[in-house]
Amino acid sequence: MLKPLRRALAALSALTVLTAPALAAPRQQGDVLIRHATIVDVEKARTVPDQAIVTRGGAIVAVGPDKAIARDWAAPRTLEAAHRFVIPGLWDMHVHFGGGPDLIAENKALLPLYVAHGITTIRDCAGDLPYDVLAWRDEIARGSLFGPNLLTSGPKIEGLKPIWKGTLEAGSKADVDAALARLQGLKVDFVKITDSTLDPQLFLYAVARAKALGLRSSGHIPMALTVRQAVDAGLSSIEHLDYARHPGSPDEAAIAADFAAGRINRAEANRRLATSFDHATAMAAYRRFAADGLAVTPTLNGSRIIAHLDDEDHSHDAYLAYIGPKLRKTYDWRIERAAKATPAEIAARHADIERVGAILPMLVEAGVPIMAGTDAGFLNSFNYPGIGLHDELDLFVAKGLTPAQALTAATRAGPAWFGKLDRYGAIAPGKVADIVLLTANPLTDIHATRAIDTVILRGRVHDRAALDAMLAEARAKVAAWNAETAQ
Ligand SMILES: [Zn+2]
């Protein structure tokens, strides 16, 4: 009677022996295991509770329910997220470095500020230190310089003798071709074109040639052109929200023609564009933007700061402690210009920035990708690297975007524009391990993006203490420069 049972037991133990090694399979190795995380799925605007994330070699290699991941994976470093909120690293899609060769050290000192504020990628939109910035980009990628991933336009294309320094000057199609060949040689990440002296037709030629060469382009659209002309030529993004106002005017083409013929100046052109703005015209234009895949970087907070230089006192801003004395000196340009404005001009500026801001929710409604960018750097007074992006996101929500839409602008729109969504923009296997842990839920309150507990940059963990040390070091550098200047 017992024999079959014994035989069955023996068979069972044999089976156990056979399957035991499989059950006890060595766990897969990662570098960092993040436990009990609440992942913010930005794309679907929802949170996924009790997840674990594994990073290895600078990439995310596993994400899933905490228990299952903890069973299958081991790592020398475990991070207890304690149900904190995990978002992809933030992208600031419009920053600048510059002010001249004397300011290289002060500009370079801004890099850690971005990381300390959860910004893991920045898009440099040209300045007058383009070759330094290109070198930093490569050093950061190699790991020999600490900073966020840096994508840069390199030197911008301009006309002859432009007001902007550090440019490739173009007075002919041949010049444009040579400039683009040079930019290709520099392996720039995109092309920036500004128009202080660039001929409008050469602007269109540059945009079209850049596109033909497979380069994305962005810039300041000449007033003598309609925005549609620039988009049709192949412009990839509009920088600064006020340019997006132009196609909202049924008179845009006539205003552009009057400006081109010298019949009106820029101020008059802007006044006419503003007063003739029409909601239906704008929405039709914005739906075409969306269909064309054109993105807009509003840099709204930067414009707001400039519009209010007269009635907002920045002299006690805590963030001045992060701005070197020479960079701070570059702020004077706009401050002095603002001081010369008449009361009527000031009132007009205040009213105008509100009208420009009202365009933002219309673009979103039309489906135009919005990219969060600050315009922080030299010249742009009190527009602070790092914290400025959080101010921009606050403003997006104040203007009517949902927190999820604002977060999309700062985590997914940038990678989408660069064609890098396969590597960025979500917490998922295969993505770069650029991760920010927040102590509050950014989908319910956008202010939560400031509540940074930990920043993981290309797999390297920087906890709150490390981020505070980064900030303290940045302040100490500036304090030392300030002391030197005072002597
Ligand atoms: Zn800019």
Distance 85 CA to ligand 1 centre (A): 31
Distance 29 CA to ligand 1 centre (A): 43
Contacts 24+ apart (CB under 8 A), 53-56: 53/86, 53/427, 53/435, 54/28, 54/30, 55/30, 55/31, 55/433, 55/435, 55/456, 55/459, 56/29, 56/30, 56/31, 56/459
Cα–Cα distances (Å) from 118 to 179, 385, 398, in that order, read 35, 11, 21
- Say how far apart CA 268 and CA 30 lie, in whole Å: 61
The number of helix segments (H) and strand segments (E) in the chain equals 21, 19
User: Does pTM top 0.85 for this prediction?
Assistant: yes
Distance 97 CA to ligand 1 centre (A): 10
* Distant-in-sequence, close-in-space partners of 419: CB < 8 Å, separation ≥ 6: none
Distance 125 CA to ligand 1 centre (A): 6
Distance 378 CA to ligand 1 centre (A): 10
Distance 394 CA to ligand 1 centre (A): 19
Ligand 1 (ion): residues with CB under 5 Å are: 125, 375
The pairing of beta strand 156-158 with beta strand 435-438: unpaired
- Say how far apart CA 461 and CA 453 lie, in whole Å: 11
Distance 219 CA to ligand 1 centre (A): 9
Residue 114 and residue 147 in contact, taking contact as beta carbons nearer than 8 Å = yes
- Say how far apart CA 213 and CA 230 lie, in whole Å: 17
Distance 210 CA to ligand 1 centre (A): 20
Distance 182 CA to ligand 1 centre (A): 22
Strand partners of residue 445 = none
Distance 54 CA to ligand 1 centre (A): 37
Strand partners of residue 52 = 64
Distance 192 CA to ligand 1 centre (A): 10
Burial 112-132 (b: 16+ CB within 10 A, else e): bbbbbbbbbbbbbbbbbbbeb
Residue by residue, pLDDT tens for the chain (487 residues) are 445 555 555 554 444 444 444 455 679 999 999 999 999 999 999 999 999 999 999 999 999 999 999 999 999 999 999 999 999 999 999 999 999 999 999 999 999 999 999 999 999 999 999 999 999 999 999 999 999 999 999 999 999 998 877 899 999 999 999 999 999 999 999 999 998 899 999 999 999 999 999 999 999 999 999 999 999 999 999 999 999 999 999 999 999 999 999 999 999 999 999 999 999 999 999 999 999 999 999 999 999 999 999 889 999 999 999 999 999 999 998 888 888 889 998 999 999 999 999 999 999 999 999 999 999 999 999 999 999 999 999 999 999 999 999 999 999 999 999 999 999 999 999 999 999 999 999 999 999 999 999 999 999 999 999 999 999 999 999 999 999 988 7
Residue showing tokens 């992060």:
322
Distance 16 CA to ligand 1 centre (A): 67
Distance 416 CA to ligand 1 centre (A): 20
Distance 95 CA to ligand 1 centre (A): 6
Pull the structure tokens for residue 417.
């524009």
Distance 40 CA to ligand 1 centre (A): 30
What is the Cβ-side half-sphere exposure of residue 203, based on CA atoms within 13 angstroms?
26
Distance 373 CA to ligand 1 centre (A): 9
Residue 462 and residue 470 in contact, taking contact as beta carbons nearer than 8 Å = yes
Distance 177 CA to ligand 1 centre (A): 24
Q: Name the residue type at position 403.
A: P
Distance 133 CA to ligand 1 centre (A): 15
Burial 56-82 (b: 16+ CB within 10 A, else e): beebbbbbbebeebbeebebeeebebe
- Say how far apart CA 316 and CA 409 lie, in whole Å: 30
Distance 93 CA to ligand 1 centre (A): 10
Distance 376 CA to ligand 1 centre (A): 8
Q: Among 319, 298, 295, 324, which residue's Cα sits nearest to residue 237?
A: 295
What is the Cβ-side half-sphere exposure of residue 189, based on CA atoms within 13 angstroms?
23
Distance 380 CA to ligand 1 centre (A): 8
Distance 96 CA to ligand 1 centre (A): 6
Distance 199 CA to ligand 1 centre (A): 20
Q: Taking the chain, what is the end-to-end CA distance rounded to the nearest angstrom?
A: 102
